[in-house]
């Protein structure tokens, strides 16, 4: 049976918000019988279990309750209601300065933190050399920490947190302060901790780190837990939250007329046309959640099957491209414009999903517009199997298309590039977005809509092959 390291049940944290400071004083002194404050739920009804040995990432927009949750788990803040049970010794690296006395020097703060966690002075003595070596801040360790730069501070704080042998490590967005060498050292330590079977709870806006290091991710929004699952899925849903698309996706899923809210009828027209081109299937709107927190995520159905040509290839993909039947596509957007068809061609113009490393290939994306739009942006990105976004570009970055389009127009964007990725399997995502004044709008997005296999007889280190020409000569 798997052991539970952290168990959170129906957790709520409510803050009282007063319009004026005098109202707080009147209530504290009992001078007023009426309620003079508004209740703000920093966390509402959070349930969460973290198994021993897991690395779990928590993601969400600013103000979603991530830091509050960690503070309650570590005992820094008390919950308004609900329960938190922790089985194991915790070491926490919360916001800069938490747990440190600014007047003490670095050495004194090491002993202060170690004592708070439960170590004796003799045990801290044994670990001191390792902490100082990891922090690597030299003689500054003998100076008051109030004189430290933010980089020096986080070095010392992280060195203390990971070198006192915790069973549970909790990190809240602290590593972004250190330089690249220190960050690499920290993540290497993460790997060591994972291999040792320690539990890590990790809050970060660095989605690549969440994808790479976490076994599972939890998505919070406005104090509520919207969903939890694989890092790749949660990151995709988080991107919907960022652009405010979950409500639209949820309404589409339940058959709501989108025209009322978005002023469009493209979605209904899309269904009536039977998916013009057949390539853009409705595997979509897998329920991410957006600001506004309308309900919990739900799965939509797989939708209509792709239309097929006489030769058995999907409609629009003449030449029999090898397209997998089950690609787990996330689809959302306002649908003022739609991506109706997509495919890959090799340097000879043949439809394919297998590309030779070093050759030229093209990603094709066809779109139809149902409203006049000022300057739509066509985007394409490539992820690996873990969901790490490796590369991508768009028509605005490339300065390839900066024109308005009229209702009823159809466009095809062709992204032609040389394949320099290492051999393996990758996923392609497509997007149709734009700016309406200062507001960023998503018209249609298709995440993980196609796979591409890179065929290679030589793989170098990392994601890309730099095309190195190596010469060894006598000197």
pLDDT per residue over 420-448, tens digit each? Answer: 999 999 999 999 999 988 889 999 999 99
Helices 106-117 and 150-163: angle between axes, nearest 10 degrees: 40
Q: What is the pLDDT of residue 247?
A: 56
Q: What per-residue confidence (pLDDT) applies to 279?
A: 46
Domain range 230-455, CATH architecture? Distorted Sandwich (2.70)
The pLDDT of residue 47 is 95
Residue with tokens 């698309």: 245
State how far the Cα of 228 lies from the Cα of 221, in Å rounded to an integer: 12
Question: How does DSSP assign 188-200, residue by residue?
Answer: HHHHHHHHTT-EE
Half-sphere exposure of 26 (CA within 13 A, CB side): 13
| C-alpha distances out from residue 1 to 18, 81, 262, 418, Å | 48, 29, 49, 50
Res 154: pLDDT = 81
Average pLDDT, the chain: 79
Dist. CA 466–CA 324, nearest whole Å: 30
* CB within 8 Å of 192: residues ≥ 6 apart: none
The reported pLDDT for the residue numbered 32 is 67
pLDDT (0 to 100) of residue 325: 43
Report the pLDDT value the prediction gives residue 96, as an integer from 0 to 100. 59
Contact 225, 46 (CB under 8 A): yes
pLDDT of residue 2: 67
Q: Which superfamily does 4-225 belong to?
A: P-loop containing nucleotide triphosphate hydrolases (3.40.50.300)
Name the stretches of the chain with pLDDT < 50.
248-249, 251-326
pTM for the full predicted model? 0.69
Q: Is 156 left (phi over 0), alpha (psi -120 to 50) or beta?
A: alpha
Q: At what angle do helices 150-163 and 121-135 cross, to 10 degrees?
A: 130
The structural domains of the chain, with segments of one domain joined by +, span 4-225, 230-455
């Amino acid at each position: 049976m798997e052991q539970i390291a952290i168990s959170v049940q129906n957790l709520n944290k409510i803050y009282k918000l007063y319009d004026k400071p005098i109202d707080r004083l009147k209530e504290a002194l009992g001078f007023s019988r009426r309620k003079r404050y508004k209740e703000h739920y920093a966390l509402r009804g959070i349930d969460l279990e973290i198994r021993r040995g897991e690395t779990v990432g928590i993601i969400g927009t600013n103000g979603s309750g991530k830091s509050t949750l960690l503070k309650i788990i570590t005992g820094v803040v008390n919950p308004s209601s609900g329960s938190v049970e922790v089985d194991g010794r915790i070491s926490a690296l919360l916001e800069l300065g938490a747990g440190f006395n600014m007047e003490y020097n670095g050495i004194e703060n090491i002993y202060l933190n170690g004592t708070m966690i439960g170590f004796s002075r003799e045990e801290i003595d044994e670990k001191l050399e390792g902490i100082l070596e990891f922090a690597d801040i030299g003689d500054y360790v003998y100076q008051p920490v109030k004189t430290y730069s933010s980089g020096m501070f986080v070095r010392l704080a992280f060195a203390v947190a990971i070198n006192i042998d915790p069973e549970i490590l909790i990190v809240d967005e602290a590593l972004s302060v250190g330089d690249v060498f220190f960050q690499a050292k920290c993540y290497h330590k993460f790997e060591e901790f994972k291999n040792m079977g320690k539990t890590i709870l990790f809050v970060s806006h660095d989605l690549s780190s969440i994808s790479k290091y976490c076994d599972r991710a939890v998505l919070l929004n406005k104090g509520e837990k919207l969903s939890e699952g694989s890092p790749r899925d949660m990151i995709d849903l988080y991107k919907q939250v960022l652009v405010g698309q979950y409500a639209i996706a949820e309404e589409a899923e339940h058959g709501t007329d989108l025209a009322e809210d978005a002023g469009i009828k493209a979605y209904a027209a899309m269904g009536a046309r039977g998916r013009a081109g057949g390539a853009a299937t409705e595997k979509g709107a897998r329920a991410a959640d957006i600001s506004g927190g309308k309900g919990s995520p739900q799965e939509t159905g797989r939708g209509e099957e792709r239309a097929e040509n006489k030769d058995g290839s999907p409609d629009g993909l003449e030449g029999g491209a090898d397209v997998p039947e089950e690609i787990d596509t996330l689809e959302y957007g306002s649908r003022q414009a739609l991506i109706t068809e997509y495919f890959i061609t090799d340097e000879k113009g043949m439809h394919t999903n297998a590309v030779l490393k070093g050759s030229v290939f093209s990603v094709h994306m066809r779109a139809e517009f149902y409203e006049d739009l000022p300057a739509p942006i066509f985007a394409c990105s490539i992820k690996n199997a873990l969901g790490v976004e490796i590369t991508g570009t768009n028509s605005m970055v490339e300065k390839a298309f900066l024109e308005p389009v009229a209702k009823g127009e159809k466009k095809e964007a062709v992204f032609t590039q040389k394949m320099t990725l290492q051999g393996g399997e990758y996923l392609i995502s497509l997007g149709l977005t734009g700016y309406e004044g200062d507001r960023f709008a998503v018209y249609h997005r298709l995440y993980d809509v196609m796979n591409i296999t890179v065929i290679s007889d030589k793989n170098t280190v990392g994601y890309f092959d730099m095309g190195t020409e190596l010469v060894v000569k006598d000197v």
